[in-house]
Structure 1
Amino acid sequence: MLALRLTLESFRFAWQALKSNLLRTILSLLGVTVGIFAIIAVFTVVDSLESNIRQSMDFLGEKVIYVGKWPWKFEPNQPWWKYFNRPVPTQREFRTIERTLDPNSHMGMAIVANTGGNTLKAGTNSLTDCNLQGVSYEFQQVSKVPIAEGRYFTPQEMDLSRNVAIVGADIAENLFGGGSALGREFTARGRKFTVIGVMKKEGKKLIDTPSNDANCLITFGMFSQIFAINNGSGRSGVTPSIIVKGREDDQNLTNLESELQGALRNIRGLKPREEDNFALNRPEMFGELISKLFSVIGVAGAVIGSFAMLVGGFGIANIMFVSVKERTNIIGIQKSLGAKNYFILFQFLFEAIFLCLIGGAAGIFLVFLITLVPQESLPLFLSAGNVTLGLTVSVVIGILAGIIPAVLASNLDPVIAIRSK
């Protein structure tokens, strides 16, 4: 109890010392404030940038495997024609995989085909450069379809290739104005479609990736009627993609990848010694590249910000040495009245920590104010981890800057200290 009481008393002395020299305290805070602001601002921008880029890649899906002709990452020393001569995935292969793949190895699979640069019309209104995407019923299981109004396709609509569509927010706003788009009709590629659903608005993205705002989902059967689908017999037509959703408990999707590889090799009649003539691509490879890139950027930002923190730390240490010099007489009186060395040490150490904590909190608050500024393309956010990091760095700097002056103060001889002026 005595140690706790003396520690709290040290807190009180440190706080009184800071209040008694308010101008000096404020000036001392500036170095730490600038340093913490620089570090946390860099980390906030990096985290926000990484989050925005990851959101921009959401259209690829999560924990999914794409069956395709071309790999997303080329193997070294492989000739391009090796991939060029590969067959494309077909609807027949999709149906065969759907029948043969173990249902316990995946959460769903879908076949998708899309083409851009389409013009949609409704009355006198039109919208150009829209993306038409033909999907099978299971598409909602492998990719996000954020419907804000209306509903998804029914199995009957898919089987009968009905002229129904789920449109993006930009399409609904431009073709039908401010009213509800549900039940309204529009024309695309000479065909009339009825809107059964409208997707949530995504807004602008930092990088130019496909957005649902200008995307129009239709049944795969209707898409096949409008566009020629590459069925593997030639190189013309739209090439579909087969997407398979993995299970959450399948670490790195190793089981699903093995199942798919075996099924495709069997479907295409590949002999044991023959190489795969297909690619199994996963969006995780982009996530890994993004993580590596931003980890390097984060380290570089931390190094730059640490120089500002170094200046702030030296400033705090200098002020603490001055504070010890000014209060040497008081230290001597306290020690002559029985004050322990750790009581004196804690006084000055807590004072340095207080200075850095207040400065760090001020720097974090400035970063928070910046995040409140509206940013359409890159919204900034201050995470709890960065707040914790800023306060932790402040405490560490306070300890490092205050420990030497505090030790010197605690080891002063009381007789010599009382005689000092």
Structure 2
Amino acid sequence: MLTLRLTLESFRFAWDALKSNLLRTILSLLGVTVGIFSIISVFTIVDSLESNIRSSMNFVGDKVIYVEKWPWTFGPDYPWWKYFNRPVPSVREFQALRKQLSANNKGIAIFAAKSGNTLKAGSNSVSDCAVQGVSYDYRVVSSVPLEDGRYFTNQEMASSRPVAIIGATIAENLYPQGGALGREFKMRGLSFVIIGMMEKEGKKLLDTPSNDTNVLVPFDTFVKIFGLSTTGMGGPSPRIGVKGRDEDAGLLDLEYEMRGVMRNLRGLKPRQDDNFALNRPEMIAGQITQLFSVIGVVGGIIGSFAILVGGFGIANIMFVSVRERTNIIGIQKSLGAKNFFILFQFLFEAVCLCLIGGLAGLLLVWLVTLVPQDALPLGMSAGRIILGLLVSVGIGVIAGIVPAIMAANLDPVIAIRAK
């Protein structure tokens, strides 16, 4: 109870000191405000960039292993000549994987895409559309967010029906008045019936493939129209995606099984290297995380210089405050005030200064996030708010500890005589 009373008394003394020197308090707050604004705004921009880039890459799916010709690795030492002559995945390999893989997966799909297509419906048309041929389990491997209508049936897949699921931008351009479901459009001279429409995604930061200008058709229908390339050159080449199970940590069991089946299908000897790539979205996610970890560290260092300036300002103000109140400190100690009471009094003052400045900096960052941004929407997370407050408290303790110790250790007789 005594400790609580002394703590509250220390807080009251600190608050009175801050109010009695309002101009000095405001000027000292500016350094902390600018520092917290700098460091939290940098982290907020980095977080928003990473979030938007990850959102732009969500078309590759999650917990999926892709069988492809080219591996998802980047850098100056990329040995492209080793991969150039590899065969692309085939329909035969897709069918073999579907039969031979155990229950380690949720679904297997084969798909291929062709961009730059023009769709027509009456007098309306839309160009530069991507047409993607997919097998039945494609919606298991990758997200197909339907806003209206339905997905393909097994019968439509098997009989190569001219049916399609279209994106929101295509629907808006072909049928401005709405009601696209069940109507027809033409592509490459063929008529397709719309059985589903996907949700609108909007513009992505990296301009990655968007469902808004995407058309999904049955895989065999796609092959009849566009054909397939067996070399990956001069035409659409298929990819195979296998969705792993949640209980398979790291998809290690699935990857081991897929590698064995693929090596057997391609007749590779034990000492021969794989002539296929097993790619995962985690490869891209890992590189994104690594990149933004570096950017975050650099941003933190830059922001730290600003917060350091604010800390020096607070420390200077606290030294001045101790000198101005030396007489009062002597009176308090002569009346029985303990050293920790004086210490708390000045520490509270420093921490309060930094907290107020930190809150002002966080408020400025929050106001910036309210500005409409199409290219990069900003959002400040609760974690960054907590970080800003913790940094403010830390700077307050560091800046105020030395002046507080000096004040606590003053001799009361000498302090009372100070002018």
Question: Shorter-chain TM-score: what band?
Answer: over 0.9
Q: 1:314 to 1:82 in 2, by over 3 A?
A: closer
- Matched-pair contact (CA < 8 Å) for 2:88–2:237: yes
CA distance in 2, matches of 1:394, 1:74: 40
Question: What are the within-5 Å matches in structure 2 for residues 290-301 of structure 1?
Answer: 290-301=288-299
Match of 2:272 in 1: 274
**2:140 aligned with 1:146:** no
Query: 1:217, CA displacement in angstroms?
Result: 0.6
How much has 1:321 moved relative to structure 2?
0.9
* Shift of residue 323, structure 1, vs aligned partner: 1.0
> What's the offset of the Cα at 1:231?
5.2
Q: Which letter does structure 2 place at the counterpart of 1:196?
A: I
Distance 1:15 1:133 in 2: 67
- The alpha-carbon deviation at position 77 of structure 1 amounts to 7.3
Is 1:96 aligned to 2:85, yes or no?
no
In structure 2, what is the Cα distance between the partners aligned to 1:33 and 1:107? Answer: 52
Question: Cα distance, 1:80 vs. partner?
Answer: 4.0
Partner AA of 1:197 in structure 2: G
Percent identity of the aligned residues? 68
Deviations 1:239-271 (A, max 9, x none): 110001112222222111100000111222222
d(CA) in 2 for partners of 1:173 and 1:117? 18
Report the CA distance shift for 1:274/1:362 in structure 2 as closer, same or farther (over 3 A). Answer: same
- Given that residues 72 and 284 in structure 2 are in contact (C-alpha distance below 8 angstroms), is that contact kept between their aligned partners in structure 1? no
Structure 2 matches for 1:177-192, cutoff 5 A?
177-192=176-191
- TM-superposed deviation, 1:78: 8.0
SS of structure 2 residue aligned to 1:107: strand
1:371-386 to 2 correspondences below 5 Å = 371-386=369-384
Q: Paired residue for 1:319, among 317, 320, 344?
A: 317
Counterpart of 2:130 in structure 1: which amino acid?
N
TM-score by length of 2: 0.96
Q: 26-35 or 322-331: which moved more? A: 322-331
8 A Cα contact 2:134 2:217, kept in partner: yes
- Give the match's secondary structure for 2:129: strand
Question: Once the 2 structures are TM-superposed, how far is the Cα of residue 134 of structure 1 from its aligned partner?
Answer: 0.5
State yes or no: 1:124 paired with 2:91. Answer: no
One-letter amino acid matched to 1:264: M
Aligned-residue offset at 1:273: 2.5
1:158, distance to aligned residue in structure 2 (A): 1.5
Name the stretch that deviates more: 315-324 or 158-167: 158-167
Please list, as runs of the form range in 1=range in 2, the aligned pairs for 1:12-411 lying within 5 A after superposition.
12-73=12-73, 80-103=80-103, 105-230=104-229, 237-411=235-409
Rounded to whole Å, the distance in 2 between the matches of 1:296 and 1:60 is 24
Shift of 1:75: 9.9
| Change in 2 beyond 3 A, CA 1:343/1:260 | same
Between 187-196 and 116-125, report the one with greater CA deviation. Answer: 187-196
Distance 2:195 2:233 in 1: 34
Q: Summarize deviations over 1:395-414 as a string: whole Å, max 9, x none.
A: 00000000011111111111
- Tell me which moved more, 386-395 or 221-230: 221-230
C-alpha contact 1:113 1:133 (8 A) present in aligned 2 = yes
Q: What amino acid sits opposite 1:137 in the alignment?
A: Y
| SS of residue paired to 1:16 | helix
Query: For the residues of structure 1 that align with 2:386 and 2:287, how far apart are their CA atoms?
Result: 26
Q: CA deviation at 1:135?
A: 0.4
Contact 2:65 2:241 in 1 (8 A): yes
Q: Which amino acid aligns with 2:147?
A: A
Output the amino acid matched with 1:40: I
Question: 2:341 aligns to what SS in structure 1?
Answer: helix
Q: Which one is further off, 50-59 or 234-243? A: 234-243
- 8 A Cα contact 2:245 2:251, kept in partner: yes
Q: Which amino acid aligns with 2:190?
A: R
> Residue type matched to 1:57 in 2?
M
Contact 2:31–2:307 under 8 Å retained in 1: yes
Secondary structure in structure 2 of the residue aligned to 1:65: strand
CA contact (8 A) 1:118 1:128 kept: yes
- CA apart distance, 1:193: 1.1
Distance in 1, matches of 2:413 and 2:101, equals 88
- Letter of the 2:106 counterpart: M
TM superposition shift of 1:418: 1.4
Which structure 1 segments of 5+ residues have no match? none
Letter in 2 for 1:189: R
1:74 Cα deviation from its structure 2 partner = 6.9
242-251 vs 113-122, which moves further = 242-251
In the alignment, is the contact (CA less than 8 A) between 1:90 and 1:230 conserved in 2? no
Cα distance, 1:345 vs structure 2: 0.5
Measure how far apart 1:163 and its partner are: 1.5
